[in-house]
Amino acid sequence: MASAKKFMERIIAKNPGEPEFHQAVKEVITSIMPFIEKNPKYEKAKIIERMTEPERVIMFRVPWLDDKGEVRVNRGFRIEMNSALGPYKGGLRFHPTVNLGILKFLAFEQVFKNSLTTLPMGGGKGGSDFDPKGKSDNEVMRFCQSFMSELFRHIGPDTDIPAGDIGVGDREIGFLFGQYKRLRNEFTGVLTGKGLNWGGSLIRPEATGYGCVYFMQEMLKTRGESLKGRVCAISGSGNVAQYTAEKVIQQGGKVVTFSDSNGFIYDEDGIDGKELACVLELKNVKRGRIKECAKMFDCKYYENKRPWNVKCDIAFPGATQNEITEDDAKALVKNGCIAVGEGANIPTTPEGIKVSQDANILYGPGKAANAGGVATSGLEMSQNSLRLSWSREEVDKKLRDIMIAIHEQCVKYGKKGNYINYVNGANIGGFVKVADAMLDQGLV
Ligand code: NDP
């Protein structure tokens, strides 16, 4: 593995101050290096060197006026990472922690994820350090309009199709789409996650969470297990967490936690459908804090803590990167957790992954487990091109079939003896398609 070490030294020197990007590249390199050594054509064409360099990085100023008439300035980004398989595709994140390194890590992950979905999509990611929390709808609209006033010239339905991510939900997608349409004088499928009555797809809001649960069911099946009666800890309380919870409850599991960046609630008796509806109303309409649910549900609230110390069978991290540390993973294993399904992107640190794998628990990495969101975005693009809308059942079936196909690829490339290393499976499975397309397309 000496060449992997050297390669990482070069990546770190060339991309200073981007620890999340280094982390994402290191994980992939560790998985694929043995595969590349057996297939020298990739080494000869310097495929990994090319895949770790974005095709294009766009960085721009986003000035906007707040409600007091004060000028505010944020920074906008779009990383167009790889278009070997199709137009760039990946979400926009609005969060104060956003920077170039975080978006490069997300864009890099997206390339492999999109490849795993089997749909024709390249990888990209974008966003801004703008924080929608505490802003009025008018402020969010003015920001989105200013953001799109620059971004529109770089994207398009056959070039680059952004979607939502942290801080970008249906409200923001609406404002972004409105401004794109106005500037281009075109009504096209340039964004996914659109409203249902103006080009959105049924099941898109639910897709990442539902897909994550479908992937978990496939992992559990390999050990003759199911979700029924299983106690599930979920982090986050946004889009991914909400629909992970909905599907877990539908499948007979018990959801005991939700969190946000201030803390988590723990309801030992399980959050039921009615309580889940309150979480959706609180987060999507009132835009409140999760601790307000503790009073409503008469359950416990832990300030500034993550939910990994509670007793659970299954963990679904659905908030942000590096939220399961080595100690958190040890606590999960000690408390009898049998599986982790990542709704978020890279929510587990490398040390945390090692703890889970050493303990032989099922560990489904985000690039496989949360690919249902972008897969359904791909289905939204197909419907937009066909100018048709598929039924809820049709989209849900396609989503489930895609998650099953992703699981099969992980098994194909990750099974060694009796153990399925889903990290290796997802990385190699995602890599092969992109790398072969790059070979076919010459030195671009
Ligand atoms: P939302 O903005 O809807 O929700 C994010 C949730 O995570 C909120 O509860 C938020 O709390 C919490 N959170 C955000 N940052 C932090 C932090 N630094 N520490 C603790 N909690 C935090 O985003 P999504 O649900 O869409 O995304 C969640 C994760 O899933 C992200 O990693 C995203 O990249 C990934 N993902 C999303 C997809 C999608 O389709 N939406 C697709 C694939 C992956 P608070 O309100 O306090 O900020």
Task: Check which CATH number belongs to the domain holding 20 and give it.
Answer: 3.40.50.10860
Q: What's the confidence (pLDDT) of residue 242?
A: 98
Same-domain check for residues 44 and 168: yes
Query: Where in the sequence numbering do the catalytic residues fall?
Result: 125
The last residue of one of the domains, among 336, 364, 392, is 364
- Classify residue 376: in a domain, yes or no: no
Q: Closest Cα to atom 46, ligand 1: which residue?
A: 260
Same-domain check for residues 17 and 142: yes
Number of domains in the chain: 2
- Classify residue 294: in a domain, yes or no: yes
Q: Tell me, what CATH number does 300's domain have?
A: 3.40.50.720
Same-domain check for residues 248 and 138: no
- Classify residue 396: in a domain, yes or no: no
- Classify residue 183: in a domain, yes or no: yes
Same-domain check for residues 167 and 217: no
Per residue in 291-339, pLDDT (tens digit) is: 999 999 999 999 999 999 999 999 999 999 999 999 999 999 999 999 9
- Classify residue 410: in a domain, yes or no: no
- Classify residue 247: in a domain, yes or no: yes
The last residue of one of the domains, among 320, 344, 364, is 364
Find the domain containing 224 and state its range. Answer: 207-364
Cα of 42 vs centre of ligand 1, distance in Å, is: 35
Q: What's the confidence (pLDDT) of residue 444?
A: 87
The last residue of one of the domains, among 341, 364, 387, is 364
Mutate to test the pocket of ligand 1, among 165, 244, 402 (most ligand atoms within 8 A of CB): 165
Mutate to test the pocket of ligand 1, among 95, 172, 260 (most ligand atoms within 8 A of CB): 260
Same-domain check for residues 155 and 46: yes
Q: Which ligand 1 atom sits nearest the alpha carbon of residue 95?
A: 15
Same-domain check for residues 225 and 130: no
Q: What's the confidence (pLDDT) of residue 91?
A: 98
- Classify residue 408: in a domain, yes or no: no
Q: What's the confidence (pLDDT) of residue 2?
A: 57
d(CA 69, CA 191): 30
Per residue in 8-65, pLDDT (tens digit) is: 999 999 999 999 999 999 999 999 999 999 999 999 999 999 999 999 999 999 999 9
- Classify residue 437: in a domain, yes or no: no
pLDDT-flagged residues of the chain (< 70): 1-2
Same-domain check for residues 62 and 172: yes
**Residues enclosing ligand 1, CB less than 6 A?**
164-167, 169, 208, 236-241, 260-261, 318-320, 343-345, 370, 373
